[in-house]
């Protein structure tokens, strides 16, 4: 079968103004809870797209680790490719795809670092091995072999064999503060439902987009 012939018809749900929340974060939480109930695999997995100082884009899958009135939270190495790009251009886009529900959520907004104490608290909630890995991996940097990582992990494991592992100064959290949030519901004949929340001086404006 040709790639061009791959098709999926969507017809499970509908989406209209009368059945969504006034606030997009609350609407996201509603949909996220429904993704959990539907047993979507890793519902907090999201594509994070960033650009460098000259506008060249990069995208990767990261995990959502929190959502509140500020926005959408994830954690990373500040010296990774994504960290360097966010430093150069503190704007990003997120995409969630929940296939069993035929739903997509798109978020665009500014990115800010979380307060250090919040990053530290989350870091210490991670498994011990993940804490060590944050020290061992020079994320996004070229290395000669897998053995380089294994050796670095061995060194930090010995250094922090007892007591708490401190949070690396180059590791912490970000929050994407949404400027727009779009909820996409698959519908028949490619006439999908798209509702977009757009933030302005008066709060949130809800509008329907053509598919």
Write out the E strands in the chain.
45-51, 57-63, 66-68, 71-77, 91-98, 103-113, 171-185, 193-200, 203-208
- Using CB atoms within 10 Å of the CB of residue 63, give its burial: 0 to 12 exposed, 13 to 18 middle, 19+ buried: exposed
Greatest CA span in the chain, whole angstroms? 60
Angle subtended at Cα 91 by Cα 137 and Cα 170, rounded to the nearest 5 degrees: 25
What is the Cα–Cα distance from 122 to 71, expressed in whole angstroms? 17
Q: State the Cα–Cα distance between residues 127 and 91, nearest whole angstrom.
A: 30
Is 190 tagged catalytic? yes
3 state SS of 75: strand
Q: Which 3 state secondary structure label does DSSP give 158?
A: helix
Shortest CA distance to 175 belongs to which of 29, 62, 27, 74? 74
Q: Of 7, 60, 167, 190, which residue is the catalytic one?
A: 190
**Positions marked active-site:** 190
């Amino acid at each position: 079968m040709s790639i061009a012939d791959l098709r999926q018809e969507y017809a499970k749900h509908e989406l209209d103004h009368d059945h969504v929340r006034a606030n997009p974060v609350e609407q996201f939480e509603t949909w996220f809870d429904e993704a959990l109930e539907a047993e979507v695999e890793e519902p907090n997995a999201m594509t994070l797209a960033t650009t460098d100082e000259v506008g060249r884009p990069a995208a990767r899958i990261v995990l959502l680790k929190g959502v509140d009135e500020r926005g959408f939270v994830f954690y990373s190495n500040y010296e990774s490719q994504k960290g360097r790009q966010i430093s150069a251009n503190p704007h990003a886009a997120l995409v969630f795809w929940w296939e069993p529900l035929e739903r997509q959520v798109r978020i665009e907004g500014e990115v800010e670092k979380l307060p250090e104490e919040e990053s530290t608290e989350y870091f210490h909630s991670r498994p011990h091995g993940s804490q060590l890995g944050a020290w061992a991996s020079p994320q996004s940097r070229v290395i000669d072999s897998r053995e380089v990582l294994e050796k670095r992990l061995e060194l930090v494991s010995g250094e922090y064999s007892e007591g708490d592992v401190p949070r690396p100064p180059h590791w912490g959290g970000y929050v994407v503060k949404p400027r727009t949030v779009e909820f996409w519901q698959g519908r028949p004949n490619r006439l999908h439902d798209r509702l977009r929340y757009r933030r302005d001086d008066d709060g949130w404006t809800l509008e329907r987009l053509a598919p």
